[in-house]
Chain A
Amino acid sequence: MKRMPVIQMMSALAVALAALTALVTPAAAQKPSGKFPTRPIVFVVGFGAGGGADVMARALSEAAKTVLPQPLVVENRPGAGGTAANAHVAGRPADGHTILFAHAGSSIITPVTANQPGLKWSAFEPVARIHAEEEWLMVHPDSPWKSIDQLVAYAKANPKKVRVAGAPIGGIDSFVVLSFEKAAGIDLEYIPHDGGGQAILAFLGRNAEVVVGNVSEFAQHIEAKKMVPIAVASAKRSPIFPKVSTLKEKGWDVVMVQWRSVLAPKGTPPDRVAALARAFQKAMAAESWKTFNKNSKAVDLYLGPAEFRKFLAAEEQRFTKIIDELGLRKK
């Protein structure tokens, strides 16, 4: 047999060593040890850096620094309405060192409409609901409608005339509008944009009469007198604009908030899930988080693992009903 040249032997050895290491390492990582966390926790976000989800995750990670011995590291895996991140986290070891950002769109609406149960919240362990922002409907200051009733009356007489700008179909914005249309029996023209910012630009450019979204995106524009709130999709009136009515009080049961939360891979040990939830609860008392909430006009809505699971089941029922009524489910 011909002798192998030294270089080839060394490479074969290196490959063998690498293969052995690769086989050993995941097993070692999954061995349950008492302490948690033992290395940085990866916080996977299904949206791009700089967007609302990403900024919230980063702010939460900052606040968690005071509470957890290991840092939270945000990892952006955008795509597929946030579900690319879900798919990734589903395959990660369930040892508490990987967590997933979730909101209604990425954990309920998109998986249901795309018929992908493996990406739904129920395929994961709920950790905690963190905070929420209300969904608002805004009009121009010189708009002919001074109240939501006037808008509805006009819309009834002029179907498909009132243009509403908002975020892509499948997100909370679109659901608020579609549910409102159904509840009030009107026909609006929803114009989906690639994001809240683009929707605001379209509205400011008078390409839409109404814009729907979070008040955090609108705050400074309201101050600059470029938009005026006409209704809010909450259960109660907001302390920021006490004169603005809710859709519910007018008889249209449209209550939807953009809540944001954390999930973990299925099978994550309950004690670790509880430890993470407790840590987030404490982090929400941090100064930096309070400032962040104040600036974004968001409201802390902490729910621990058990209550959050119940909340998610209820939300799924609610959204599925709307999805089916609107015929959005993929055939």
Chain B
Amino acid sequence: MSFIEQLAAGFASALDGYGILIMAAGVTWGIIGGAIPGISGAVAMALALPFTYGLDAPTALVMLAGVWAGANYGGSIPAILMRMPGTPASAACLFDGYELARQGRAAKALGISLICGTIGGLISILVLIALVLPLGEIVVRFGSPEVCALALFGLTLIAGLSGPSFLKGIASGFFGLLLTTVGLDTLTGSMRFTFGSADLLTGIDTISVMIGLFAVSEMFFLIAHPARPSGTLVGTASTEFPTLRELREVGRATLVGTIVGLVVGIMPGAGATASSFVAYNEARRWSKRPELFGKGSLEGVAAPETANNAVQGGDLVPTLALGIPGSNSAAIILAALILHGIMPGPFLLTKNPELVYTLFAGLIIVNLLMIPVGILILRLTLIAMKLDPPVLIASLLSLIVIGTYAGDLFVLNPIQALVFGVIGYGMRIWGFSAAATVLGIVLGMLAESELRRSLIISHGDWTIFITRPISATLIFLTFCVLVYPVLMTVLRHWRSRRVPAAPAAK
């Protein structure tokens, strides 16, 4: 059977029977689960897993694919409306998304997140379908040095997130890095900063801390400064969706997001969260209007949301080509396969091609389904946002406590969310950057463990980072990014010293 015939058969299989309804149900649950703060895509999929036992393997896969796709978008809904990341991967879109909501343009931001996310998801799936095997060969070239270099490259964003005081920004970033050291260290088995408590062995819970630093602190702020004359939390929330012209404006950012999502998705260890931050950084670097970032730039929403959806394709490369899950979400897809008696591994494509092509078809369909389902849920959420602020804030705080508990059923998670809410509020008053701290947490964790692992691999030789081509490129780019502004300042200074000499010479 030719490639097209196999894909067509995949579509037939995915749409067979109640297929479309099941996929729509998956997408709906995914968006809702993603929107509930504390429930990530992987948790939403895990909660849906028992429902797949009674289904046959292809249907089970496409339903889980629906949940996965939906959750990638769902997280941006509370992030934009309430500065509350529904999933860690949606944190990067709140910088501009929430600003847009405060300017009354929430629906534009949400619309961009939905449409650009869908575009990113579709492109990454198409790339996956076309290149899964060759990409499977490349994925093993991305080792610890490469991931470490990528994390360092992403950490340069701290400069952009610092706000007025660069020093406080760096301090905030280091605070984030410090937080990631808490817990059981997998590289030595030693316990760091656990103060003898078994509860702290896991370390901090990233999503709870993010919700605390961004959302809970914001709610404390709103309680302290109730200032909205119109009475609603997001200003006069218009439900106007983005126009075609606005979509064209974010085209460049969407492209950046797609590329970053694909590349970072393929890298083992780095996932949707890291890719959304790197995409935000890159979109700003290549934007025609970088000064708008942080003040309500549509590109600032398009890039991270596209990236976190585009990671889907990348995650599935090692998953399908090697049987090694590229992320927690992909691990659940594999679990579903195992529970249906199918062993994942390098032979999945040759031994069960119909299944794989059904998954491909399913992924395309669910990404498309996101648009109608997404718009529906959007309209409902916007109505809910019209509640009185005190009622809304109280409801959201309850939702935060429930959501952060529901994922791992660990009582320390909601406590972290509340404690970091206080810390985040303090940081805000004293000019520190919660965003830099979150970046430090997300990328710092990756940078530290991969750095140490790289040094074990190289027997302590630091040159491993520059002798390997991919890692060397990333280190070089990081260096350029750090040095460029300094270089520019020096050049400008030098040029301005020379200019007075010229007219005198005339």
| A residues adjacent to B (C-beta < 8 A) | 48-51, 54-55, 58-59, 62, 73-81, 83-84, 87-88, 113-114, 116, 119, 160-161, 163, 168-170, 174, 189, 191-194, 197-198, 200-202, 204-208, 219-221, 223-224, 226, 288, 291-292, 295-296, 328, 330
Minimum Cβ distance to chain B for residue A248 (Å): 25
Residues in chain B near residue A119, CB distance under 8 A: 198
Minimum Cβ distance to chain B for residue A133 (Å): 14
A220 touches B201 (CB 8 A): no
Residues in chain B near residue A330, CB distance under 8 A: 190-191
Residues in chain A near residue B143, CB distance under 8 A: 201-202, 205, 207
Given contacts A55-B339, A189-B459, contact A200 B199 (CB under 8 A): no
Closest 9 CB pairs of A and B: A220-B345, A50-B331, A80-B201, A79-B202, A49-B46, A169-B189, A205-B140, A168-B186, A197-B324
B198 touches A80 (CB 8 A): yes
Given contacts A50-B331, A79-B410, A81-B184, contact A87 B199 (CB under 8 A): yes
Q: Is B296 an interface residue (CB 8 A)?
A: no
Partner of B186, one of A73, A76, A169: A169
Closest to B203 in A: A79
Residues in chain A near residue B142, CB distance under 8 A: 205
Q: Is B276 an interface residue (CB 8 A)?
A: no
User: How long is the Cα–Cα vector from A204 to B140 in the complex, in angstroms?
Assistant: 6
B410 touches A84 (CB 8 A): yes
User: How long is the Cα–Cα vector from A51 to B143 in the complex, in angstroms?
Assistant: 21
A114 touches B186 (CB 8 A): no
Q: Is B132 an interface residue (CB 8 A)?
A: no
A201 touches B318 (CB 8 A): yes
User: How long is the Cα–Cα vector from A204 to B189 in the complex, in angstroms?
Assistant: 25
Q: Is B332 an interface residue (CB 8 A)?
A: yes
A163 touches B456 (CB 8 A): yes
Residues in chain A near residue B189, CB distance under 8 A: 113, 168-170, 174, 328
Given contacts A84-B410, A198-B269, contact A220 B46 (CB under 8 A): no
A78 touches B408 (CB 8 A): yes
Given contacts A49-B332, A55-B338, A163-B456, contact A192 B187 (CB under 8 A): yes
B144 touches A207 (CB 8 A): yes
User: How long is the Cα–Cα vector from A226 to B346 in the complex, in angstroms?
Assistant: 10
Minimum Cβ distance to chain A for residue B388 (Å): 16
User: How long is the Cα–Cα vector from A191 to B324 in the complex, in angstroms?
Assistant: 18
Given contacts A50-B334, A205-B140, contact A62 B339 (CB under 8 A): yes
User: How long is the Cα–Cα vector from A139 to B355 in the complex, in angstroms?
Assistant: 31
Chain A to chain B contacts (Cβ below 8 Å), 10 pairs: A62-B53, A62-B339, A77-B410, A170-B184, A170-B189, A197-B318, A202-B457, A220-B343, A220-B346, A296-B343
A193 touches B346 (CB 8 A): no
User: How long is the Cα–Cα vector from A189 to B344 in the complex, in angstroms?
Assistant: 29
Partner of A114, one of B188, B198, B318: B198
Q: Is B75 an interface residue (CB 8 A)?
A: no
User: How long is the Cα–Cα vector from A288 to B54 in the complex, in angstroms?
Assistant: 13
Residues in chain A near residue B187, CB distance under 8 A: 168-169, 192
B408 touches A76 (CB 8 A): yes
B324 touches A201 (CB 8 A): yes
Closest to B47 in A: A49
Per-position 1/0 for B299-343, Cβ under 8 A of A: 000000000000000000010001111001001111100110101
Residues in chain B near residue A207, CB distance under 8 A: 143-144, 457
Q: Is B50 an interface residue (CB 8 A)?
A: yes
User: How long is the Cα–Cα vector from A122 to B189 in the complex, in angstroms?
Assistant: 22
User: How long is the Cα–Cα vector from A184 to B137 in the complex, in angstroms?
Assistant: 35
B201 touches A194 (CB 8 A): no
B457 touches A208 (CB 8 A): yes
Closest to B196 in A: A115
Residues in chain B near residue A88, CB distance under 8 A: 409
B456 touches A169 (CB 8 A): no
Residues in chain B near residue A208, CB distance under 8 A: 457
Residues in chain B near residue A163, CB distance under 8 A: 456-457
Q: Is B414 an interface residue (CB 8 A)?
A: no
A75 touches B409 (CB 8 A): yes
User: How long is the Cα–Cα vector from A55 to B144 in the complex, in angstroms?
Assistant: 27
A191 touches B331 (CB 8 A): no
Minimum Cβ distance to chain A for residue B327 (Å): 10
Closest to A194 in B: B186
Minimum Cβ distance to chain B for residue A89 (Å): 11
Residues in chain A near residue B457, CB distance under 8 A: 163, 191, 202, 207-208
User: How long is the Cα–Cα vector from A169 to B45 in the complex, in angstroms?
Assistant: 29
User: How long is the Cα–Cα vector from A200 to B53 in the complex, in angstroms?
Assistant: 29
Per-position 1/0 for B338-368, Cβ under 8 A of A: 1101011111000000000000000000000
User: How long is the Cα–Cα vector from A81 to B189 in the complex, in angstroms?
Assistant: 10
A79 touches B201 (CB 8 A): yes
Closest to A225 in B: B346
Q: Is B453 an interface residue (CB 8 A)?
A: yes
* Sample of 10 further A-B pairs with CB below 8 A, known A50-B332, A81-B201, A116-B198: A49-B328, A49-B332, A55-B339, A168-B187, A194-B186, A198-B324, A220-B345, A221-B345, A295-B341, A296-B343
User: How long is the Cα–Cα vector from A161 to B49 in the complex, in angstroms?
Assistant: 43
Minimum Cβ distance to chain B for residue A43 (Å): 12
Q: Is B42 an interface residue (CB 8 A)?
A: yes
A84 touches B343 (CB 8 A): no
Partner of A77, one of B53, B324, B331, B408: B408
Closest to A44 in B: B409
A223 touches B202 (CB 8 A): no
A193 touches B328 (CB 8 A): no
Closest to A297 in B: B343
Residues in chain B near residue A205, CB distance under 8 A: 140-143
Residues in chain B near residue A194, CB distance under 8 A: 186, 269, 449
Q: Is B80 an interface residue (CB 8 A)?
A: no
Q: Is B37 an interface residue (CB 8 A)?
A: no
Residues in chain A near residue B345, CB distance under 8 A: 219-221, 223-224
Residues in chain B near residue A292, CB distance under 8 A: 338, 341
Interface centre among B198, B328, B347 (most CB of A within 10 A): B198
A50 touches B343 (CB 8 A): no
Residues in chain B near residue A204, CB distance under 8 A: 140, 322
User: How long is the Cα–Cα vector from A193 to B147 in the complex, in angstroms?
Assistant: 13
Partner of A58, one of B43, B190, B334, B339: B339
Partner of A48, one of B268, B318, B331, B344: B331
User: How long is the Cα–Cα vector from A201 to B267 in the complex, in angstroms?
Assistant: 11
User: How long is the Cα–Cα vector from A138 to B344 in the complex, in angstroms?
Assistant: 19
Given contacts A49-B45, A197-B324, A205-B143, contact A80 B334 (CB under 8 A): no
Closest to A206 in B: B140
Minimum Cβ distance to chain B for residue A292 (Å): 7
B331 touches A51 (CB 8 A): yes
Interface centre among B141, B144, B189 (most CB of A within 10 A): B189
User: How long is the Cα–Cα vector from A170 to B45 in the complex, in angstroms?
Assistant: 29
Partner of A84, one of B46, B202, B268, B338: B202
